[in-house]
Chain A
């Protein structure tokens, strides 16, 4: 990799997505003129010279093999082992869903906290260190809190994580164990988020998804870039992405565009589809109604990691689906549980509730023809089922308890044979 003489490395500036005004590369996420989101602008000519397929393939199997497209100025210092998760061909699930070719991008086994959030956090904390921060923070539905807490601990940074107080126990313990300050807010995520925006305006902390958001969000691109490489340097015809704020969907799309622009993948037509839970579906409701704006909702779903009623990137997610001719769908709590079981039983992957949403929505989109049965699709699985046991514990089946006796065991077998199990 080349040495970066410029202070921003491959970054040029922060740029408002609405009006195009440029800002210095500091911890700042909002344009002061129109409140538009700031996004990192890159020097793509330099990136193209440095980031060939051969160069990428020579690097370790982590998200940082796409280093030039990730916004840190010098070499990353946090989360060096993140990413490089499996893309597996899911023939058994494909059969169940009625599609020819199906792939699972499995971030349920991302390192170290078992969700795609490790990608965004390693970028945000590496950049936070570059900017001189010693305290990091986040507003989270759970997975992000886990990742900030763990990665901050490993980097020796102080962490404050803010979560709705009614989160799954697995997600709460998974934040506390690393020694982070965990603040449970009596309210839903949107209220946590609003409070954090106010706290971020007052305390000199690196809030990964507030003032650090332009850097943080770019980390999600690594999921899409890995898909492109693992897919044989091609962009898949269909990608189904779960939507909370809508950020992941917009960044997967951006990563596909960048792969094409940099000549890493050939130009091809691709569709990006969005998945939500019906109990919190502001983006999919707007998409299905043909609107380019969403109405905020009060979330009520077991898919707590997706329960954002006022999605920050809802507007841009709608635009991506429109531009790629993608669709959106949403599924009920029961369909989410069915989706989790379907993925587990057919592929041996235990996803959290958001994964159930993605599988359930893929099933609907295949059934409706929005994803044609002869095409190939990639499903983005973003988190691990062990963290949301509460949601499925009562539905997973039951243990048959016997004495340590061969006779009792064989009685069960006989019983099962009788009922044809």
Chain B
């Protein structure tokens, strides 16, 4: 069941410039693991040494910040769109 991950500009070197990637994962945590399998090195860009999402990375499922959902446990269903956005913007 494909879900769509939008890849932010700073990570596109790792995804051969793909702007979107389809995954089959059932949660955000699994989606990041799946990305890591296909694009080695991407996980350490997104996660800190304690396994949490980095301070300056915001992750959204269908426009909602995962911190208002279930963080890395947030479930994904078919057709969901995940955006990974640098936190350091705006204001």
Chain A interface (Cβ within 8 Å of chain B)? 18, 29-37, 139, 187, 189-194, 196-198, 200-202, 207, 209-210, 213, 244-247, 293, 295-296, 298, 308, 310-313, 315
CB <8 Å contact, B54 and A312: no
**Which 6 A-B pairs have CB atoms at the shortest separation, nearest pair first?**
A245-B91, A193-B90, A32-B10, A37-B88, A35-B56, A30-B86
How far, in angstroms, from A30 to B13 measured CA to CA in the complex?
A: 14
Least Cβ distance of B91 to chain A in Å? Answer: 2
Contact A308 B91 (CB under 8 A): yes
Pair B89/A196 contact, Cβ less than 8 Å: yes
Given contacts A37-B56, A191-B63, A315-B55, contact A201 B8 (CB under 8 A): yes
**Knowing A191-B63, A315-B55 touch, does A310 contact B87 (C-beta < 8 A)?**
yes
Q: Are A197 and B8 in contact (CB under 8 A)?
A: yes
Contacts of A198 in B (CB 8 A): 6, 83, 85
Task: Specify which chain A residues have a CB less than 8 angstroms from the CB of B67 in the assembled complex.
Answer: 295-296
Docked-complex contact B58 and A194, CB < 8 angstroms: yes
Is there an interface contact between A194 and B60, defined as CB atoms closer than 8 Å? Answer: yes
A317 to chain B, nearest CB (A): 10
Check B57 for interface membership: any CB of A closer than 8 A.
yes
Per the bound structure, the CA–CA distance linking A34 and B87 in Å amounts to 11
CB–CB A35/B13 < 8 A: no
B85 & A34 in contact (Cβ 8 Å cutoff): no
State the Cβ distance, B52 to closest chain A Cβ, in Å. 10
Instruction: Tell me which residues from 49 to 84 in chain B have a Cβ below 8 Å from any Cβ of chain A.
Output: 54-58, 60, 63, 65, 67-68, 83
Task: Give complex CA distance A396, B3 in Å.
Answer: 53
How far is it, in angstroms, between the C-alpha of A200 and the C-alpha of B58 when the chains are bound?
16
Q: Is B26 an interface residue (CB 8 A)?
A: no
Residue of A nearest to B6 (CB): A198
The reply to whether the CB of B38 lies closer than 8 angstroms to some CB of chain A is: no
Given contacts A194-B83, A198-B83, A295-B67, contact A209 B10 (CB under 8 A): no
- B13 to chain A: which residues have CB within 8 Å? 32
Q: Is B11 an interface residue (CB 8 A)?
A: yes
Contact A30 B55 (CB under 8 A): no
12 contacts between A and B (CB under 8 A): A31-B10, A32-B13, A33-B45, A35-B45, A35-B56, A36-B56, A191-B63, A197-B8, A210-B89, A244-B91, A293-B55, A311-B91
B54 cross-chain contacts in A, Cβ below 8 A: 34-35
A80 vs B19: C-alpha distance in the bound complex, in angstroms?
A: 39
The reply to whether the CB of B9 lies closer than 8 angstroms to some CB of chain A is: yes
In the complex the two chains form, what is the Cα distance from A295 to B71 in whole Å? 12
- Which residues of B6-57 have CB atoms within 8 Å of chain A's CB atoms? 6, 8-11, 13, 19, 45-46, 54-57
Report the minimum CB–CB distance from B72 to chain A (whole Å).
Answer: 16
Using Cβ atoms and an 8 Å threshold, which residues of chain B touch A34?
45, 54, 56
| A34 and B56 alpha carbons, distance in the complex (Å) | 8
Query: Once the chains are docked, how many angstroms separate the CA of A244 from the CA of B6?
Result: 27
Known interface pairs A30-B10, A37-B56. Does A210 touch B90 (Cβ–Cβ under 8 Å)?
A: yes
- A196-B56 in contact (CB<8A): no
**A194 and B91 in contact (CB under 8 A), knowing A18-B56, A34-B45?**
no
Contact yes or no, B45 A30, CB < 8 A:
no
Q: Residues of A contacting B19 with CB < 8 Å? A: 201-202
Shortest Cβ distance from B58 into A: residue: A310
Q: Name the residue of chain A whose CB is nearest to the CB of B85.
A: A197
